Amino acid sequence: MEGVLGLLSLLLLLALWRAPRLARIRVQTPDLAPGFPGQVRLGQVAVEVWAPLPLFFRLENLPSAPLGLEPRGLSGMAWGKIRLALPLSCRYRRRGEHTLRLTLRFTSPLGLGERLLSLEAGRVLVYPALRPLPPFEPAPSFFLEGKTEPFGLPDPLEAKGLRPYQPGDSLRLLAKPASLRQGRPIVREVEKSLLGSLFLHLDTQSLHPAYLDHGASLAAWLLLLAEKSGVSYGLSAGEVLPLGRGRGHLVRALSLLARLEPTQTPALPPKAPPGSTFFLITQAAEQAFLKAALKGSAQARQGVLLLLPEGYFLYPGEKGRLALGKTPGLERALAMRGLLLAHGLELKVVRGHQPLSL
């Protein structure tokens, strides 16, 4: 009998020693919504645990400076199937796609066995920082017959009816035959043509750590302005997002900018959509980039090449030291300024000590 009890005790100790390794887990994606730096997001991450034997556990999230996430922990005992929910509180700080990491420690009741797990709970998107920057309006598109929008410029060729003249009406809209028949000024009531469209390309070749963040912030600002004014917009930043509009389109564009990573070689601009305003941002201004910009602007209505030689500019209220000399990229761009202008690309240079001017 004593031998049986001894064997059972040994088996029990062995089971307790192995218990932490017998546990099974499943991590659920955290419910933290994307946001801009400075925004607070509350959520939780859930871990499902199945433990055939009783175990003590300690679940913690690791701190994250880009997410503004402080460490938090949850302790208790697990036996059978249990769902652990760890609350999270973030104040986003830095653009990017950041991994949320956890640690989960299992300990057997008698301290005979222990298991430490490092877990990835998912990724959280932080959009580029938004700061007030100068406004920019794309050039109006060509009038396109039969296509109208609630926004835009009136097209004198697209009349939908006649009405009496009102102060402020353009004389170009005067309907002479109808005015002569009725003996009073009559004007054509016109449709509105499409607004201008904006196609933005952000070169990912970075020579300064601040370049991509400044470029992404400017791009986000321009896209938000376009969305607010009803302008169609597209983006080329690692991937190409065609012209579009609406909340879903804006979220896709901001997500591209959030995930943007620097590259050692230039990201060559694609061809701009016909009639669009082609807006390019670069720091390095490599020869291949400038040649691709010339080719890509062939069908654009207007072109702007914004060069940031130092990789950054001054936000409102900031002060910086005078930037002297010319970077290789600046010299290349200035040498091609006339050729760029001949192809409809206006070169704008903003040095590191200057505020942004569009």
Residue 109 neighbours by CB distance under 10 Å: 13
| The model's pTM | 0.80
Q: Are residues 111 and 29 in the same domain?
A: yes
Tens digit of pLDDT for each residue in 193-233?
556 799 999 999 999 999 999 999 999 999 999 999 888 99
Q: Are residues 159 and 99 in the same domain?
A: no
pLDDT at 16 over 80: no
For residues 171 and 213, the model is more confident at 213
Task: Identify the helix (H) or strand (E) that includes residue 339.
Answer: helix 337-342
Q: Are residues 279 and 316 in the same domain?
A: yes
Domain containing 118 — which CATH number? 2.60.40.10
The boundaries of the domain holding residue 41 are 20-126
Burial class (CB in 10 A: 0-12, 13-18, 19+), 216: buried
Q: Are residues 85 and 63 in the same domain?
A: yes
Tens digit of pLDDT for each residue in 21-66?
888 999 988 889 999 999 999 999 999 999 998 999 999 999 999 9
Measure the CA–CA gap between 117 and 260, rounded to whole angstroms.
30
Q: Beta strand pairing status for 186-192 and 239-244?
A: unpaired
For residues 90 and 4, the model is more confident at 90
Q: Are residues 216 and 251 in the same domain?
A: yes
Q: Are residues 202 and 345 in the same domain?
A: yes
pLDDT computed for residue 193 by the predictor? 52
pLDDT computed for residue 143 by the predictor? 46
Q: Are residues 249 and 318 in the same domain?
A: yes
Residues ≥6 apart with Cβ < 8 Å to 213: 95, 128, 129
pLDDT at 153 over 90: no
Measure the CA–CA gap between 162 and 23, rounded to whole angstroms.
78
DSSP 92: -
| Torsion sign, CA atoms 215, 221, 223, 225 | negative
- Indicate the number of domains in the chain: 3
Buried b / exposed e along 305-325 (16+ C-beta atoms within 10 A): bbbbbbbbbbeeeeeeeeeee
Confidence of residue 150 (pLDDT cuts 50, 70, 90): very low
**In a domain? residue 203:** yes
φ, ψ of residue 47 to 5 degrees: the values are -130, 125
Measure the CA–CA gap between 349 and 326, rounded to whole angstroms.
11
